[in-house]
Chain A
Amino acid sequence: MLVFIALALLLVSPQARGDARQDARRDFKKGMELIAAGQYDAGIAELEAAYAIKPHPNVLYNIARAHLDAGRVVEALQHYRRYLATEPRDREVVAATIAKLEVGLAQARQPAPVPEPAAAPPVPAAASEKRLADLLARLEDAVDRVEKLEASPREEPGAARSAPQSLLEQPGSEVEAGLPAYEEMVFSASRRAQSALEAPVATTVITEEEIRLSGAQSVPELLRRVPGADVSIMGVASANVSMRGFNQRLSNKLLVLVDGRTVYEDFLGFTHWPLLPISIEDIERIEVMRGPGSTLYGANAFMGVLNIITKSAGAGSRATAHLLAGTGDSAGASLSTSGREGRVRYRASFGYQQADKWSVDFSDDRADVTPTAKDPTLGLRAMKANMVVDFVPAPAARFALSGGTAQIFSELYPSGLLRNFNYDGTESYLKADAALGALKLKTFWTHSQATSEPQYWSTGTPSIASELTSDIVDAEVQIDSDFTLVGDNRLVAGLGWRMKRARWTYLPELALEHHFSAFVQDEWRPWKPLMIVGSYRIDRHPLLDEGQPGFAHSPRGAVLLFFTPTLVLRGSVSTAFRVPTFLESYLDLRLPVAGVDGAEMRIVGNPRLKPEQIFNLELGFSAVFDRVTFELAAYRSQVHDLMQFGALIPASAPTWNPETGRHLAFSATSENDPAVFTALGAEVGVKASPFDRTDLRLNVALENVSTDAADSEECVPCSQVPFLKVFGSATARLARFLDLSADASYVGGTTWVQSETAKDDPTLPMIATYPLKGYVVVNARLAARLLDDRLALALVGTNLASMHKEHPFGNFVERRLFLSLGGAL
Chain B
Amino acid sequence: MRRLGVLLLLLLGAPDCFSPPVGPADDQIGAPPKASISGQVFFTGQARGEVIVLMYSADDPPPPFGHGSPRSLAVVPRTRLFPSDGEGPFSAPFTFNLVPAGTYLLSALLDRDECAVGGVGGCRKSDLIPWFFATNEPNAGDIPGGHVDLDSGSFLPITIASPAGAVSATPVEGVAVTLDERLAYPTDRPAFVVRGYSDSENLPTAKAPGGMALGDQMLALTLESAPLFSGAIDQRRSGFLVRYADEDHDGKPDDSDANGLPDLWPKIYVQKLAPALPEGLLSTEPVLLAAGLGPDAPYAELAGPDGAPDMEKTVQVQSLTLRVLPKALDVSNPPAVRPLEAVPAGRYGIIVQQYTGQTWRVPNESAPMLVKASDLGLPSIPGQGFFIDKR
Task: Give the B-binding residues of A (Cβ under 8 A).
Answer: 1-3, 323-333, 352, 354, 356-363, 365-369, 375, 377-379, 381, 383, 419, 456, 458-461, 594-599, 650-656, 658, 661-663, 665, 754, 756, 761, 763, 768, 770, 772, 805, 808-812, 814, 817-819, 821
| Nearest chain A residue, comparing its CB with the CB of B26 | A808
Known: A352-B1, A360-B20, A460-B38. A597 touches B6 (CB 8 A): no
Known: A323-B11, A331-B9, A662-B75. A653 touches B232 (CB 8 A): yes
Verify if B66 is at the interface (C-beta below 8 Å from A): no
| Nearest chain A residue, comparing its CB with the CB of B14 | A325
CB distance from B94 to the nearest CB of A (A): 8
Is chain B's binding surface mostly helix, strand, loop or mixed? loop
Known: A356-B20, A361-B24, A812-B21. A2 touches B74 (CB 8 A): no
Is A656 a contact of B50 with CB atoms below 8 Å? yes
CB neighbours (8 Å) of B147 from chain A are: none
Is B12 a contact of A325 with CB atoms below 8 Å? yes
Known: A419-B29, A652-B375, A756-B27. A458 touches B98 (CB 8 A): yes
Bound complex: CA A282 to CA B18 (Å): 31
Task: Give the A-binding residues of B (Cβ under 8 A).
Answer: 1-2, 4-6, 8-9, 11-14, 16, 18-27, 29-30, 33-36, 38, 50, 52-53, 71-77, 79-80, 94-99, 126, 129-132, 135, 167-171, 231-232, 374-378
Known: A331-B9, A653-B232, A656-B129. A811 touches B95 (CB 8 A): no
A-B pairs with beta carbons under 8 Å apart, 29 shown: A323-B8, A325-B11, A327-B14, A327-B18, A328-B20, A354-B1, A356-B20, A360-B20, A361-B24, A361-B25, A362-B22, A366-B30, A366-B167, A367-B168, A367-B171, A368-B98, A368-B168, A377-B19, A458-B98, A596-B72, A597-B96, A598-B52, A598-B73, A598-B75, A650-B131, A651-B131, A653-B129, A808-B27, A819-B13
CB distance from B81 to the nearest CB of A (A): 11
CB neighbours (8 Å) of B35 from chain A are: 367-368
CB neighbours (8 Å) of B74 from chain A are: 597-598
CB distance from B26 to the nearest CB of A (A): 4
Is A809 a contact of B30 with CB atoms below 8 Å? no
Q: Which of A368, A378, A754 gathers the greatest number of chain B CB atoms within 10 Å?
A: A368
CB neighbours (8 Å) of A654 from chain B are: 129, 232, 377
CB distance from A696 to the nearest CB of B (A): 31
Tell which of B4, B9, B72, B170 touches A597, judged by Cβ atoms closer than 8 Å: B72
Inter-chain pairs besides A333-B4, A819-B14, 10 sampled, C-beta below 8 Å: A323-B8, A329-B6, A331-B5, A360-B21, A597-B94, A652-B377, A656-B50, A658-B79, A663-B129, A805-B26
Known: A325-B11, A651-B131. A363 touches B98 (CB 8 A): no
CB distance from B239 to the nearest CB of A (A): 24
CB neighbours (8 Å) of A772 from chain B are: 26
Known: A460-B97, A653-B129, A663-B130. A363 touches B167 (CB 8 A): yes
Known: A368-B169, A653-B135. A329 touches B33 (CB 8 A): no
Is A811 a contact of B36 with CB atoms below 8 Å? no
Known: A362-B22, A368-B35, A808-B27. A655 touches B11 (CB 8 A): no
| Nearest chain B residue, comparing its CB with the CB of A355 | B5
CB neighbours (8 Å) of A357 from chain B are: 20
CB distance from B378 to the nearest CB of A (A): 6
Is A663 a contact of B75 with CB atoms below 8 Å? yes
CB neighbours (8 Å) of A656 from chain B are: 50, 126, 129
CB neighbours (8 Å) of A383 from chain B are: 1
Is A326 a contact of B168 with CB atoms below 8 Å? no
Bound complex: CA A330 to CA B18 (Å): 12
Bound complex: CA A650 to CA B130 (Å): 12
Known: A356-B20, A595-B97. A658 touches B129 (CB 8 A): no
